[in-house]
Amino acid sequence: MNPEQFVNELKQNGFDLTQTQIEQFHHYFKKLVEVNESVNLTAITAEEDVYLKHFFDSITPLIHFKDYFQGSKKLADIGAGAGFPSIPIKILQPDLQVTIVDSLNKRLKFLSDLVDELGLENVSLVHGRAEDIGRDKNHREKYDLVTARAVARLNVLSEYCLPFVKPNGYMVALKGSSSLDEISESKRALDLLKGKLIANLEINLPASNEPRALTLIEKVGQIPKAYPRKAGTPTRKPL
């Protein structure tokens, strides 16, 4: 998917990019490839792959769950790495208030420079493990939306993400393929963490037809104080 195809595909999905937005994505690509030479941000660096597998892939929740992103919502992106999916979503939905949580300072330095260069407002960067930040009163149950892309299996990911979600807010997990088996094994975790499965969409990326899955979970109550457990525990001992 080259940049022109990217713009056309988004237009077909109801997003008519301005020239500023087109230039923001172009700069994002250039910056990603440049910094990736010294900081390991991604294995995907070819322009057509970045536009499809990073930019368009990141925007799929906005396409399929558009109503949930409308208005000045507060969104937290957990383990965003090089800014996916939150920065592409922010470019298309500028009124979102975005907080990115990541454990690696080098990635946050890249994102800090990127946010400044793209002229994005209301983007905060938080250094730390999700399990620790999820206990911080400044972040615990403060967000309307929480996203995570290719971070962990759903039973682990729920413990990373749901502590950030307000009651009646939503978590959106972006997966690389079918997540039906993950949904089945995460039932106990969702019950404990007050998560309710709302939708699980299996989609294909345009052009390549590669499979993806989008899982939407509603937070239906306050999370017990015991969660998240200390850093590392969710991975070692999934709920």
Q: What is the pLDDT along the chain (239 residues), one digit of tens a residue?
A: 999 999 999 999 999 999 999 999 999 999 999 999 999 999 999 999 999 999 999 999 999 999 999 888 999 999 988 999 999 999 999 999 999 999 999 999 999 999 999 999 999 999 999 999 999 999 999 999 999 997 789 999 999 999 999 999 999 999 987 778 889 899 999 999 999 999 999 999 998 989 999 999 999 999 999 999 999 999 999 99
pLDDT recorded at residue 207: 85
pLDDT recorded at residue 72: 87
Determine how many CB atoms are found less than 10 A away from the CB of residue 137: 7
Q: Do residues 228 and 159 lie in contact, with contact meaning Cβ atoms separated by under 8 Å?
A: yes
Total tally of structural domains belonging to the chain = 1
C-alpha R_g of the chain: 17
Q: Is 237 helix (H, G, I), strand (E, B) or coil?
A: coil
Residue in the block written with tokens 């022109």? 4
Please give the Cα distance from 141 to 25 (Å, whole number).
Answer: 31
Structure tokens at 14: 């109801």
Pairing assessment for the beta strands 97-102 and 123-127 based on DSSP bridges: parallel
Sign for the pseudo-dihedral over CA of 14, 71, 193, 150: positive
pLDDT recorded at residue 126: 97
Query: Distance from first CA to last CA of the chain, Å, rounded?
Result: 39
Sign for the pseudo-dihedral over CA of 43, 48, 53, 59: positive
Please give the Cα distance from 143 to 69 (Å, whole number).
Answer: 12
Q: What is the largest CA-CA distance in the chain?
A: 49
Domain range for residue 131?
Answer: 3-236
Q: Is 210 helix (H, G, I), strand (E, B) or coil?
A: coil
Decide: pTM greater than 0.85: yes
Which of these, 58, 55, 94, 64, lies nearest to 77 by C-alpha position? Answer: 58
Structure tokens at 7: 């713009």
Starting at the edge strand that comes first in sequence, how are the strands of the sheet with 123-127 ordered?
123-127, 97-102, 74-78, 143-149, 165-175, 211-219, 195-204
Q: Is 150 annotated as a binding residue?
A: no
Q: Do residues 27 and 118 lie in contact, with contact meaning Cβ atoms separated by under 8 Å?
A: yes
Q: Is 84 annotated as a binding residue?
A: yes
Please give the Cα distance from 44 to 179 (Å, whole number).
Answer: 23
pLDDT recorded at residue 227: 96
Give the domain CATH number at 225.
3.40.50.150
199 pairs with which residues across the strands? Answer: 216
pLDDT recorded at residue 71: 85
Q: Is 15 annotated as a binding residue?
A: no
Q: Is 131 annotated as a binding residue?
A: yes
Structure tokens at 173: 């997990």
Q: Is 229 annotated as a binding residue?
A: no
Residue 140's identity, in one-letter code, is R
